[in-house]
Amino acid sequence: MSTSAIVMMVVAMLVMWGGLAVSVVNLLRQGAVEDRAEDA
């Protein structure tokens, strides 16, 4: 793999995993996980 391909792969992985991390933090901050656990 060329250097530019590796750089683009790392950037794409950071965007995807970063988005996942932001989503999880947002869910925990809003309390949606606790609300669903109490309803069940």
In a domain, 12, yes or no: yes
Helix segments in the chain, DSSP class H: 3-30, 32-39
Q: Is residue 10 part of a domain?
A: yes
pLDDT score for 30: 85
Is the pTM higher than 0.75? The answer reads no
Mean pLDDT by 10 residues, the chain (40 residues): 97 97 91 65
CA 16, 17, 23, 26 torsion: positive or negative?
negative
pLDDT of 40 reads 57
Assigned domain for 21 exists: yes
Asked if residue 14 belongs to a domain, the reply is yes
Q: How far apart are CA 33 and CA 16, in angstroms?
A: 22
> Would you say residue 37 lies in a domain?
no
